[in-house]
Amino acid sequence: MEWLESFWTTYSTLVLSIGTNVLLALSIYLTLSCGLLTVANAAFMGIGAYTAGLLTVHTGTPFLFALIFGSLLPGIVAMLIGGPTLRLSGVYLAMATLAFGEVARILILNTEDLTGGALGLNGIPQMTNVLHVAVAVTGALYVLLRLAASPIGRTLTAISQDETVTELMGSDVRAYKLFAFTLGAVLAGLAGALNAHFTFFISPNEYGFERAVEILAMGVLGGTGSPWGAVLGGVLVTLLPELLRGLGHYRPLINGLILILIILYSPKGIWDLTRFVRRPAKLPALN
């Protein structure tokens, strides 16, 4: 198992990054799948990271509980701001969530006593290992796959196509959107909490505009057709800068290019191309 060990020392960060990025991609997939363009997930990630990090550093909370609180708090915040915010359409929603992200970041910057402000939070115990991430990713993927195949998933897709008609057919559209928004926030928070416990140092700038763009790039690349698209998007966005030797530096640039190119040339994301190989469904017997 020697090669495994050496592989791990070189690539552990990368594998763990892929894991948390897939979680983030799934979180934005959820909101995109019902037609919501929100860029708040970076902020939710930050809230999760800080919550979990502060709990383990200052109060010695066990890791698992820190993860749980780190996931729940963003969810609660999402439910609070989601009510009024999700009434907004398209561009206004995007801008409101952009503003929310900035407000969160500024709040963290200005609460130095608690969060360390611009200097960041240091000394978070490195407790995340690949098992945690694997369980989180598998769990999230499983739930989202079941969701996509369920009536809830169907309704979310319908909302993304025609919100008014979906409501006129009896679905409480606001509740569905709030559900997607909140669950997305929980996933993003979980990703943040996990991430904080292997980078051991976090600062507000990690959860700002560049992170939001990266998450958006993953979501747009993966498309809204299926959670697998999000997985693909997360993996590609993480790996691409690494594969192109030495361009890890230019990660934001690559993400930006991804956004532009996908929007211009393949708006439904990369996964949509697999539509052509889906098996035709069978008709049930009459009566």
Enter the tokens of residue 115.
């969060």
Question: Is residue 136 a contact residue for other proteins (CB under 8 A)?
Answer: no
Which of 64, 80, 92, 122: binder of other proteins (CB under 8 A)? Answer: 92
Nearest approach, Cβ of residue 18 and other proteins (Å): 21
Enter the tokens of residue 187.
């996933």
Q: Which stretch binds other proteins (CB under 8 A): 50-58, 67-75, 103-111, 229-237?
A: 103-111
Which amino acid is located at 170 in the chain? G
Report residue 264 CA to chain centroid gap.
23
Question: Is residue 60 a contact residue for other proteins (CB under 8 A)?
Answer: no
* Closer residue to other proteins, CB minimum distance, 6 or 162: 162
Question: Is residue 147 a contact residue for other proteins (CB under 8 A)?
Answer: yes
Question: Is residue 246 a contact residue for other proteins (CB under 8 A)?
Answer: no
With beta carbons less than 8 A apart as the criterion, state whether 230 and 26 touch.
yes
Question: Is residue 171 a contact residue for other proteins (CB under 8 A)?
Answer: yes
**Cα dist from 7 to 13, 58, 81, 130, 265, whole Å:** 11, 34, 43, 13, 36
With beta carbons less than 8 A apart as the criterion, state whether 237 and 212 touch.
no
Which of 15, 79, 94, 141: binder of other proteins (CB under 8 A)? Answer: 94
Q: Which stretch binds other proteins (CB under 8 A): 7-15, 48-56, 125-133, 246-254?
A: 246-254
Residues 179-208 binding other proteins (CB under 8 A) are none
With beta carbons less than 8 A apart as the criterion, state whether 71 and 190 touch.
yes
Question: Is residue 281 a contact residue for other proteins (CB under 8 A)?
Answer: yes
Which of 88, 141, 239, 270: binder of other proteins (CB under 8 A)? Answer: 88
Site string for other proteins, 17-56 (x = CB under 8 A): --------------------x-------------------
Question: Is residue 120 a contact residue for other proteins (CB under 8 A)?
Answer: no
List contacts with other proteins (CB under 8 A).
Answer: 37, 84-85, 87-92, 94-96, 98-100, 102-103, 106-107, 110, 142-143, 146-147, 150-152, 154-155, 157-158, 161-173, 209-210, 213, 216-217, 220, 250, 252-253, 255-260, 263-264, 267, 280-281, 283-284, 286
